Amino acid sequence: MRCQRCQKEATIHLTEPIKGQRREFHLCQNCARKAGLSLPESPPDLALDAVLQSLITAHVGELVGELAERACPDCGIRFMEFRAGGRLGCPQDYRVFAAGLIPLIQRYHGATRHVGKAARRREDAGRRLRLRTRLRAAIAREDYEEAARLRDQLRPKDHQT
């Protein structure tokens, strides 16, 4: 669009109701200033992150605004990325985003610490883990006899023939 006064590129676009009808004005910055419009020195930052950040800060509060900008030093995920995707990037995120995670955990689970059942520990869990590691290695090097022997050791006694 062109400025209605000087024909330069119009950067200010106004729509005003005048006597029940809509009237549009298209002006360049110089003509808008001459007409008495107060303009900001720099255009607003329209990057999506900046707009979201200003909306969050204005409507939710400073704590969440600060938290939204925080990033994990290990994995680089930001709190808003977690909120959008629902997954954290690494164990460090629980400490970095604690101020925002604790209320979420409280709301979802009714508590901020684990109060349910714990996994049952098997006496031979370490031995089974070592056997599974050796089994994967045997398969990788295509030593199928060794893999079959290890598989048989991993099977429960009542399933072996």
Report which secondary-structure segment, H or E, holds 13.
strand 12-18
The whole-number pLDDT of residue 148 equals: 95
Give the sign of the dihedral formed by CA 133, CA 139, CA 142, CA 143: positive
Tell me the average pLDDT across 30-56. Answer: 70
Tell me the average pLDDT across 44-70. Answer: 63
Q: Where does the pLDDT of residue 43 fall: very low under 50, low under 70, confident under 90, or very high at 90 and above?
A: low
What does the alpha-carbon distance between residue 15 and residue 27 come to, in Å, rounded to a whole number? 12
pLDDT at residue 119 tops 70: no
Residue 120 or residue 151, greater confidence: 151
Residues constituting the chain: 161
Q: CB 32: neighbour CB atoms within 10 A? A: 20
What does the alpha-carbon distance between residue 135 and residue 128 come to, in Å, rounded to a whole number? 10
What's 105's DSSP letter? H
Please give the structure tokens belonging to residue 60: 């939710």
The whole-number pLDDT of residue 52 equals: 67
Q: What are 12's strand-pairing partners?
A: 27
Please give the structure tokens belonging to residue 77: 């995920």
The whole-number pLDDT of residue 54 equals: 66
The whole-number pLDDT of residue 150 equals: 94
Domain ranges of the chain: 1-41, 48-109, 125-159
Per-residue model confidence as pLDDT tens digits over 131-159? 999 999 999 999 999 999 999 998 876 55
Whose tokens are 């050791």? That residue is 153
Q: What is the pLDDT of the chain when averaged over all its residues?
A: 79
The two beta strands, 21-27 and 12-18, are antiparallel
The pTM is what? Answer: 0.36
